[in-house]
A and B are shown apart, each in its own frame.
Chain A
Amino acid sequence: MTNHAQHNLLHAYLDDELDLVRSMELEDHLVECGDCAHEVASYRSLREKLASGNLRYQAPADFRLRLLRKFEEQKAPRAEHVFFQRRLPWWSWAAVAACLLLTVVMLVLDVNQHRERNLMSELVSGHVRSLMATHLTDVLNSDQHTVKPWFTGKLDFSPEVRDLSGDGFELIGGRLEYVDGHSAAAVVYERRGHVINVFMWPSFGSDQEPHTMALQGFNVIEWRRAGMYYCAVSDLNQEELSELSSMLRS
């Protein structure tokens, strides 16, 4: 047999990198040529082996946090430094008074933001803890009809648990959390190896559109709907996390 397919082509075919015409030509060839078909089968099982082998290395959580802190530090101390260097014009008491007034207003606004940010930090920490310890889930099950009843009796509300495996979000399980002084449900999903914690608890107030932010290297989306507060935390990219949040809201 001399007209075997070029080796490169077999791999490009396996990797879905061939255009339609070429991949059809190759498929025709595979029907006729047992050797090439054998090669394709062999490399396919090699790829499966690599995909199933759990070969990714996870960065140690303390290393991740250490490095993050380095970046966070670049934000904070710099600001203080500049503030103290700034000299207020001595004659401008009015300006000083205005500044003071502004500061008070900002402070009031800031306290709110601060509270929100603290809550977010708490949720992100909850997410990190769930990854570090072997305590990702209290109930490990990909069936929503098992996970949802599990919460009953443990919480005074019924959390939202969806089967989104058809949309690429695998349900991993659920966990009880204690956040901001009350109990919360954490429903855990996974996408391409990225763990997503969706925290939820009852919260009064009108519905709130999703609000996205990045915190300590994690993407966070929060929203409120039908008397429940939701917050999704993950190292998954923003677009895909938004996808999940819009599916949960639909």
Chain B
Amino acid sequence: MGNSADTGEKVARFEALVWPHFDAAYNLARWMTRNASDAEDVTQEAMMRAFRFFDTFRGENGRVWLLTIVRNTCLTWIRRHLPQQNSAEFDERLHTDLHASLTPETEYLRQATGEQVRRAIEHLPPEYREVILMRELEQLSYKEIATVIQSPLGTIMSRISRARSMLRQLIDEQRRSEVKQND
């Protein structure tokens, strides 16, 4: 009898502390897998895993705790499904020096459509996409992101800086390719 009471209580505690972050979990999975049905699989697996490991939850930030699990589940999924995806190509193409090209970015950024921004984020390599999502959509601090992706703060700092510079360039490319198509 004690067993079921424990389970019941565990479910109730889980619903109170972890479930409120379900939307954040799904959002991250959706962006990382880039399609709806895989996002559901990954989210479900992550929630189940979170429940299994719930005993290790020590009352820290529930969102950070859950996103850590979701992120690891996404990583496994990416390794299994997109093994050849790496960022070398991006690195070379996007390797521009700081301040090398000073186009009036502010203007084109304002004009970019939601769709262009969305596609640009999707084109970011996963390790850069995830920090952008956690920072800009989930509003996690550098320290929280460091916890989720289990890396030092310095890595987070440079990754965010790099990710934004790539993103800016990708938005510009999206915009240009559309202009070309319309010509």
A residues near B (Cβ < 8 Å) are 1, 4, 7-8, 10-12, 15, 17, 35-36, 38-39, 41-43, 45-47, 49-51, 53-60, 63-64, 67-68, 71-72, 74-75, 78-79, 81-83, 86, 192, 194, 213-219, 235-238
Contacts and interface: CB of A to CB of B under 8 A. Distances in A.
B8 A79 contact: yes
What range describes how many residues of B lie at the interface?
35 or more
Interface of B: 1, 3-5, 7-8, 11-12, 14-16, 19-20, 22-23, 26-27, 30-31, 36, 39-40, 43-44, 47, 51, 62, 98-99, 102, 105-106, 109-110, 112, 114, 117-118, 121, 132, 135-137, 139, 141-142, 157-158, 160-161, 164-165, 167-168, 171
A42 B168 contact: yes
21 contacts: A10-B161, A11-B157, A11-B164, A15-B141, A17-B141, A35-B102, A45-B109, A46-B109, A50-B136, A55-B118, A57-B27, A59-B43, A60-B40, A67-B43, A71-B11, A75-B7, A78-B4, A86-B1, A194-B23, A219-B16, A237-B62
Nearest to B139: A192
A197 to B, nearest CB: 15
B4 A53 contact: no
A152 to B, nearest CB: 35
Contacts of A47: 136
A56 B160 CA distance: 19
A11 B15 contact: no
B161 to A, nearest CB: 4
Given A42-B106, A71-B14, A75-B8, A217 B19 contact: yes
A219 B15 CA distance: 9
A11 B167 contact: no
A49 B22 contact: no
Is chain B's interface secondary structure helix, strand, loop, or mixed overall? helix
Nearest to A238: B16
Is chain A's interface secondary structure helix, strand, loop, or mixed overall? helix
A41 B19 CA distance: 37
A60 B36 CA distance: 9
Contacts, number: 145
Nearest to B47: A67
B51 to A, nearest CB: 7
B15 A64 contact: no
A217 B11 contact: no
B107 to A, nearest CB: 9
B162 to A, nearest CB: 8
Contacts of B36: 60
Given A35-B102, A41-B106, A54-B114, A46 B167 contact: yes
Among A10, A36, A49, A81: residue with most chain B CB under 10 A: A49
A195 to B, nearest CB: 11
A219 B98 contact: no
A205 B116 CA distance: 56
Nearest to A39: B99
Given A12-B157, A15-B141, A55-B121, 14 more contacts: A7-B165, A11-B161, A35-B99, A38-B106, A63-B26, A78-B3, A86-B1, A194-B23, A214-B12, A216-B15, A217-B22, A235-B22, A236-B20, A238-B20
A42 B105 contact: yes
Nearest to A192: B139
A82 B4 contact: yes
B134 to A, nearest CB: 11
A58 B15 CA distance: 19
